[in-house]
Amino acid sequence: MPSKIFDLIEAEKQRQKNGLEMIPSENYVSEDVLKALGSILTDKYSEGYPGRRYYAGNRLIDEIEIEAQKLANKIFGTIYANVQPYSGSPANFAVDLALAGPGGTVLGLDLPSGGHLTHGTKVSFSGVFFNAVNYHVDKDGRVDFTEAEKLAQEHKPKLIWVGGTAYVYRYEFKKFAKIAQSCGAFLAADISHVAGLIAGGSHPSPTPYVDVITTTTHKTLRGPRGAVILITPKGFKKDSEITKRIDQAVFPGLQGGPHNHQTAAIAVAFQEVLKPSFKKYASQVVKNSKILAQELMAGDIKLVGNGTENHLMLIDLTSLGYGLGYQAQVALETAGITVNKQSLPFSDEKGKNTSPFYPSGIRLGTPALTSRGMKEKEMIKIAGWIKQALGEVKGHDLPKEKTSRAEFIQSYKREALKNKNLLRIKKEVEEFAKKFPAPGF
């Protein structure tokens, strides 16, 4: 009996239960989703697609996958869904492979501007196996559409990505559609972060404007870790072979047998998304995010874009010191509040010249807190704790000498664990968190 593992699982459960999970890409799944994810479906091998498997005994697996496909299309108004990608990155790889082809030109948002690794970053497959070109944001953190259009005309990409992982505004799909049409490119929307907001009616849908949609299922959709690729009517009209190309890119192009327990859990989550209560959830996520942003700025905390239009925000710490992202993450975690360090737009400018591992900002959001039933008044209280914790980071600037940074961070971690103010906040957070049980616990 692997008791150590189960002990560690229980310890992680208590950590989540007693703290505030504010990483915007994290959320809580329901008990039903957990049941499906931990089911005997994990025992079955099912290479291929419904009705076209390489193994026998898949009649019921076919029904599960078809149901997941139907639910996905119903939620997003699409005409075809591939629910087999293991996660978001393979889903995006499959789209690149199917629509751009090896070596094809792909245009996506730059990573420090809020883009995702898979949208054309040099260190990922999207920059290694494809000719990646990046557009950026302006000083306010919005996409620079003038630059994006110029790059599209100059490089003639086969595929354009809209979406990101640290973008505080609503995505303007219509503007990207015009750019894609002008250069003949396919347009793909990676809505991994805002999929739940779209499904709940709190963010515009990309379906009328793009050819392909990808999304993870474990963020604002509150499902298991996985991903789906969706084909829109517009995409099918552009290329009648697009569904076949996507399917072949996923299997056998990139993956073997699908994770059937994952597919079933996705279907369960999608059933929950279609309930009226989910619309209320999505709306509350945005309300909570906006009030949290307002309270932080009222405390002289600088936010990229001076606020948020969705579920997340980026705190710019440069006014507090140099390279404080890692230290802020450590301080907040010590206080029971989990966020992630984050690079900022224009972080290569003088005075901000830190690396992605030692950035000048942090990213935080409200999806998981909202899943626990927290609302506006709770956001005001949480903002107060965040402001107090960030005040403890002042004076702990990152060393300019790169070779000294790792040792400095380890030293700061030890110091943070002894910080009386952070430990006081932690106790207050624990008492507060107990009042809001997490789903699935």
For 410, phi then psi, to 5°, come to: -65, -40
Could you give the percent of the chain with pLDDT greater than 90?
A: 92
CATH of the domain at 297: 3.90.1150.10
Structural domain contains residue 21: no
Q: Which residue intervals of 56-209 are DSSP H helices?
A: 59-76, 88-99, 125-128, 145-155, 173-183, 195-199
What pLDDT shows up at residue 31? 96
Same domain assignment for residues 69 and 202 = yes
Q: Is residue 127 part of a domain?
A: yes
* Domain end position, chosen among 273, 303, 322: 273
Residues 47 and 151 in one domain: yes
C-alpha dist (Å) from residue 224 to 30, 173, 291: 10, 27, 28
Query: Domain for residue 9, yes or no?
Result: no
Indicate if the pLDDT at residue 350 is higher than 60: no
Domain that holds residue 236: 31-273
**Do 197 and 131 fall into the same domain?**
yes
Do 394 and 320 share a domain, yes or no?
yes
The region of weakest confidence among 64-68, 124-128, 293-297 is 124-128
Q: What is the pLDDT of residue 345?
A: 87
In a shared domain, residues 401 and 318: yes
Same domain, residue pair 349 and 295: yes
The upper half-sphere exposure of residue 28, i.e. CA atoms within 13 Å in the direction of its Cβ, equals 22
Q: Identify the domain boundary among 273, 299, 332.
A: 273
Which residue(s) pair with 338 in the sheet? Answer: 21
pLDDT tens digit sequence for 406-439 = 999 999 999 999 999 999 999 999 999 999 998 8
Is the domain of 253 the same as that of 300?
A: no
> Quick check: is 50 in a domain?
yes
Does some domain include residue 114? yes
CA distance 298 to 73: 42
How far is it, in rounded angstroms, from Cα 197 to Cα 206? 12
Assess whether pLDDT exceeds 90 at residue 52: yes
Contact 399, 408 (CB under 8 A): yes
Token pair for 175: 């503007």
Asked whether residue 220 falls in the same domain as residue 288, the answer is: no
> Which pTM value belongs to this model?
0.96
Name residue, tokens 């279609």.
274
Residues 48 and 68 in one domain: yes
pLDDT > 70 in the chain, percent: 98
**Per-residue pLDDT at 18:** 96
Please name the residue that has the structure tokens 């972060």. Answer: 193
Last residue of a domain, one of 246, 273, 300: 273
Q: How many CB atoms lie within 10 A of CB 128?
A: 10
Question: Same structural domain for residues 348 and 262?
Answer: no
> Does residue 14 fall inside a structural domain?
no
Q: Is the dihedral of CA 21, 26, 32, 36 positive or negative?
A: negative
- Statement: residue 349 has pLDDT above 50: no
The per-residue pLDDT for 347 is: 61
Average pLDDT of span 341-370: 81
Cα–Cα distance for residue pair 345/137, rounded to 1 Å: 7
176 and 121 part of one domain: yes
List, by residue number, the catalytic residues.
45, 47, 190, 216, 219, 225
Question: How many domains does one find in the chain?
Answer: 2
What average pLDDT is seen over the chain?
A: 95
- In the prediction, which pLDDT does 356 show? 79
Domain CATH code at residue 131: 3.40.640.10
Whether residues 263 and 305 share a domain: the answer is: no
